[in-house]
Amino acid sequence: MSVDPTTGGARAPFGERLAAAMDEHGPLCVGIDPHPGLLSAWGLADDATGLREFALRVVDAVGGRVAALKPQAALFERHGSRGLAVLEDVIAAGRAAGTPVIVDAKRGDIGSTMEGYADAFLRDGSPLAGDALTVSPYLGFGSLRPAIEAALASGRGVFVLCLTSNTEGEQVQHARDEDGVSVAARIASEAALLNHGVDPLGSVGLVVGATIGGAAASTGTDLTAVNGPLLAPGVGAQGAGAAELAQVFGAARRQVLASSSRGVLAAGPDAGALRAAAAAASSDVRAALRG
């Protein structure tokens, strides 16, 4: 195990830590998505100062109360170096609250460039290193090796894009090779190999949209066999509820970390209202996924 810089003790693998957080708080991840419209709705300027107030208020309100936090890196990057500084502070604040932070940056490249992303987001000592990183496998699953190796060596995790909710994604994710195996199924099987034999959950997860309907079945993607966490955007404001979660995930429901952004953030800026919205969302997804 690697060393946890907050406690000085050994850091358990990400999958183990996330499973414990999901059991304790319910399987809800709160996305920190500082869209310009949300900043305005909170009475904040669309600049780095407003961004900092927004993001840290979310962490203060729900940190330690939900299974994970997921800052959307692009919405911090759009404010330049000052925005990246806020992202670093959000990651540190989540760590201080004891809540796993999934940096939603969807990085994917080859060779030394992927190694650079791994150094930035997944290695000890980097201020941008949260507990997990979203990554894109569409330069080949093997291109992710530097990120996966860095994550597993440091007790962190990755979430690999697999079945996303945008219709354009079907052109790639649903495509089949000469053996009739879909791209999504191949990605899931690669993750399953890396998680084989790990208990309770491996640290190589997948991103699977909560609004994709029967796409897992139609592409032959065995989500249960992945033995890792399944990050499911689209809960709440984007329309996914208990019925949609059951249809998408079936027997894999206990692996699901449901992500809600606008459904919780719209309750702000009042901290009490944010906590109440997160608690209600957590209760809903616990009933849907573990009832």
d(CA 238, CA 113): 34
| 173, amino acid identity | Q
Scanning the chain, the segments in alpha helix (DSSP H) are 14-25, 36-41, 48-62, 73-77, 80-97, 111-122, 145-153, 170-173, 183-195, 215-218, 242-249, 262-265, 271-290
Selecting among 106, 123, 176, 254, the annotated active-site residue is 106
What does the angle CA 14 – CA 124 – CA 227 come to, to the nearest 5 degrees?
20
Please tell me whether residue 221 adopts helix, strand or coil conformation.
coil
Concerning whether 70 is annotated as a catalytic residue, the answer is no
122 with 154: CB under 8 angstroms? yes
159 with 122: CB under 8 angstroms? no
DSSP 255: G
What lies within 8 Å, CB to CB, of 1 at 6+ separation is 10, 11, 12, 13, 155
CA 170 from centroid of its chain's CA atoms:
21
Q: Give the Cβ contact number of residue 53 at 10 Å.
A: 18
Question: Measured between alpha carbons, how far apart are the two ends of the chain, in Å?
Answer: 33
d(CA 259, CA 7): 27
Active site residues: 106
